[in-house]
Amino acid sequence: MTIAVLQFPGSNCDQDAFHLFASGLRLPTRYVWHKDTALGEADLVVVPGGFSYGDYLRCGAIARFSPVMRAVQDYAAAGGLVFGICNGFQILCEAGLLPGALVRNGCLEYRCLTCTLAVAPAGPGWNPTVLGAQVRLPIGHGEGNYRIDEAGRTRLEANGQVLLRYTENPNGSLDDIAGIRNERGNVFGMMPHPDRAFERFHPSQDGLAIARAVLAAKSPAAGKQSA
C-alpha cells in the first residue's frame, strides 16, 4: 500500500502527514509536487494542512488550480482514496471534490487547541464501534467554519457523510461539523489534525485510528494511479 502526500508552496504540514503514514503506520510514503501532472502509484492521496500559496485568496482557492489537482480529480473519479487535512479539506471543497465551504471562524480568531470529537457512523471502517465514540485531535486554523446550504445539509445527513462533530464547537461550524466524506465514500476531509496525534508526546494517539479508518474505505475497484 503506497501513500502519496501532495506538496504545495507554503504548506507546512506535508512532513507531518508524511510522518503519520511512513512512521506511524509504517507504509511506503512519498511526496508529489504541486506541478506534477501525474500521481503515479498510489493507494491513498493525502492533501496536507498548512497555508498553500500563503492563503492569499480564500484558503485553498489557488491550490485547487495546481496541475496536480487535475490528476487528483481524475484519481477520485476512478474511485481512488483522497484524504484532506485542514487546508487540504479546504482545497478539496474549493476543487469540488467535497461539498460545502470553509469560512472564517465565527469567533474571528485563529484557534489552536485539542478538541474532543464525536465519531459519526459514515461507513464500515468509520463508526463508533471501530474508532470509539470519541477521539481527541488538535486543530489549528482561522477558517474552519464549515458551511453548506440547506439542501446540502440534508444530503449530508441522509447519506451519512458526516465523519466527526465537535463536542464543544471552536469555530462556529454548522451542526458542529468537523469532517465529512463525499457520497461515494472515497474522498475524506477534516479540519482536525490526525497527523498531530499519533506520537507518545502528542495529545493523543487517535490519529492512527483515523488514518486506518480512511484506508479501510479502499475498494477493490479503486484505481491505483492517475495518468
Give per-residue pLDDT as tens, 14-29: 999 999 999 999 999 9
Q: Can you give the residue range of the structural domain that contains 57?
A: 3-215
Neighbours of 91 (CB within 10 A): 31
The answer to the question of residue 128 being in a domain is yes
CA 128 to chain centre: 19
- In the chain, the amino acid numbered 112 is C
- Predicted local confidence at residue 28, as pLDDT: 97
Give the span between the Cα atoms of 5 and 45, in whole angstroms: 6
pLDDT at 80 over 70: yes
Integer Cα distance of 4 and 23 in angstroms: 14
Domain contains 130: yes
Which of helix, strand or coil describes residue 139?
A: strand
For residues 99-124, average pLDDT: 94
Residue 221 maps to a domain? no
**Does the residue 220 lie in any domain?**
no
Is the pLDDT at 4 greater than 60? The verdict is yes
Q: Is residue 9 domain-resident? A: yes
64 lies in some domain: yes
Residue 51 has pLDDT above 90, yes or no: no
Average pLDDT over residues 71-92: 96
pLDDT bucket at 220, cuts 50 / 70 / 90:
very low
pTM: predicted TM-score of the whole model, two decimal places = 0.93
| Residue type present at position 131 | L
pLDDT for the residue numbered 218 = 75
Q: What is the pLDDT of residues 183-195, one digit of tens each?
A: 999 999 999 999 9
Mean pLDDT, residues 92-113: 95
**Average pLDDT in the chain:** 92
Residue 46: closest CA among 75, 66, 17: 17
Domain count, the chain: 1
Residues in Cβ contact with 104 at an 8 Å cutoff, skipping those fewer than 6 apart: 142, 143, 145
Task: Indicate the pLDDT class of residue 123, thresholds 50, 70 and 90.
Answer: confident
Whether residue 223 is contained in a domain is answered as: no
CATH number of the domain bearing residue 71: 3.40.50.880
User: What is the per-residue pLDDT for 221?
Assistant: 42
Q: What cell does 51 get?
A: 497555508
Indicate whether 96 belongs to any domain.
Answer: yes
pLDDT band at 124 (very low <50, low <70, confident <90, very high): confident
In one letter, which amino acid is 98? L
Q: Are 73 and 92 in contact (CB under 8 A)?
A: no
Query: Taking the CA atoms of the chain, what radius of gyration do you get in angstroms?
Result: 16
